[in-house]
C-alpha cells in the first residue's frame, strides 16, 4: 500500500509448490530496491529453510526485508543476518505473540548504516509515550511471553491433529495460525459454512490459496467450538 502511494512499482514473486521460496528469487527480483518476504510466511504458516534466505541476502543487490512477525512461534530466526549481511533488515511486531495488537508497535533490526538511513526519514515522536512504556513493560515480562507462546503452540498442534483426522490437508505451521484445506478443496464454501455457524476464519481467493482457510489459534474453548463447527460444516 505504501509503495503504491509513492507510485513505486511492485512485483509479486510467486512461491513454488509447497509454498517454498524460489531458488532464483534474487534473479527474479533483479533491479528492485527491496525484496520482501515473511518468515514464517503468512497466510501459509510455513517457514523457509534459513539457507534459502541466506542465499537471497548474499546474491540480491538491494535490501532484503525479512518480516519476522510470527517468529516467536517458530523454530528459529534470522537475527544473526543483521551482523552477517549489510543488506538485511528484520522487522518484528508486538501484535502477535505479545498480544498487544492495539499498541501498533513494531521494530526493525539492521546494521547501523541502514538504521541511520531509517532515522533520517522517521517522523518525529512516531511512538507515543504510553506505547513506549507498555512496550518496555512487555519486554520485561519474558515469562508471560514464553507461557503464551507455549499455550498457542500446544493448541496449534492439537488442532492440526484434529483437522488431519477430519481429512484436512494441514500445512506445517510455525505461526499462531493453521493454513488448512478442507477435504472438498473448496476453501470458500468451508469459510461460508463456518460463517453461518458464527465462526470467522480468513479465506484468500486464488488458484492455490483458495483451497485453504487460515485458522487463528485461540483459547482451548475457542478451538473446541471451532472443531465442533467444522465437523458440522463438513456434514452439511
Residues that bind a copy of itself (CB under 8 A): 1-2, 5, 102-105, 120-121, 123-126, 128-131, 134
Strand bridging mode 177-181 / 106-109: unpaired
Strand bridging mode 177-181 / 213-216: antiparallel
83 or 104: whose CB is closer to a copy of itself?
104
Strand partners, 127: none
CB 105 within 8 A of CB 135: yes
- Going by C-alpha positions, the residue among 8, 33, 37, 17 that lies closest to residue 25 is 37
The least CB distance from residue 128 to a copy of itself, in Å, is: 4
122 or 188: whose CB is closer to a copy of itself?
122
Residue 32: CB atoms within 10 A of its CB come to: 18
The least CB distance from residue 42 to a copy of itself, in Å, is: 15
1 or 236: whose CB is closer to a copy of itself?
1
The least CB distance from residue 140 to a copy of itself, in Å, is: 18
| Exposed / middle / buried, residue 163 (Cβ in 10 Å: 0-12, 13-18, 19+) | buried
Cα–Cα distance, 169 to 223 (Å, whole number)? 18
The least CB distance from residue 134 to a copy of itself, in Å, is: 8
Residues 6+ apart with CB under 8 A from 156: 73, 173, 176, 177, 178, 217
The least CB distance from residue 24 to a copy of itself, in Å, is: 32
Amino acid at each position: 500500500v505504501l509503495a503504491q502511494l509513492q507510485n513505486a512499482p511492485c512485483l509479486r514473486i510467486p512461491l513454488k509448490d509447497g509454498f517454498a521460496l524460489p531458488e532464483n528469487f534474487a534473479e527474479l527480483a533483479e533491479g528492485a530496491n527491496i525484496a520482501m518476504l515473511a518468515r514464517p510466511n503468512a497466510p501459509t504458516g510455513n517457514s523457509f529453510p534459513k539457507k534459502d534466505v541466506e542465499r537471497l541476502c548474499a546474491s540480491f543487490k538491494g535490501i532484503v526485508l525479512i518480516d519476522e512477525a510470527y517468529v516467536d512461534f517458530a523454530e528459529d530466526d534470522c537475527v544473526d543476518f543483521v551482523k552477517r549481511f549489510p543488506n538485511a533488515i528484520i522487522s518484528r511486531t508486538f501484535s502477535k505473540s505479545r498480544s498487544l495488537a492495539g499498541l501498533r508497535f513494531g521494530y526493525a533490526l539492521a546494521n547501523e548504516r541502514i538504521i541511520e538511513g531509517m532515522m533520517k526519514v522517521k517522523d518525529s515522536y512516531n511512538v507515543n509515550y504510553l506505547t513506549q512504556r507498555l512496550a518496555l513493560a512487555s519486554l520485561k515480562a519474558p515469562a508471560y511471553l514464553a507461557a503464551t507462546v507455549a499455550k498457542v503452540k500446544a493448541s496449534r498442534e492439537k488442532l492440526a491433529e484434529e483437522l488431519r483426522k477430519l481429512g484436512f490437508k494441514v500445512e506445517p505451521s510455525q505461526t499462531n495460525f493453521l493454513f488448512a484445506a478442507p477435504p472438498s478443496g473448496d476453501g470458500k464454501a468451508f469459510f461460508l459454512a463456518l460463517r453461518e455457524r458464527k465462526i470467522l476464519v480468513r479465506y484468500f481467493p486464488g488458484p492455490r490459496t483458495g483451497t485453504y482457510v487460515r485458522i487463528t489459534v485461540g483459547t482451548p474453548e475457542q478451538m473446541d467450538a471451532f472443531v465442533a463447527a467444522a465437523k458440522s460444516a463438513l456434514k452439511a
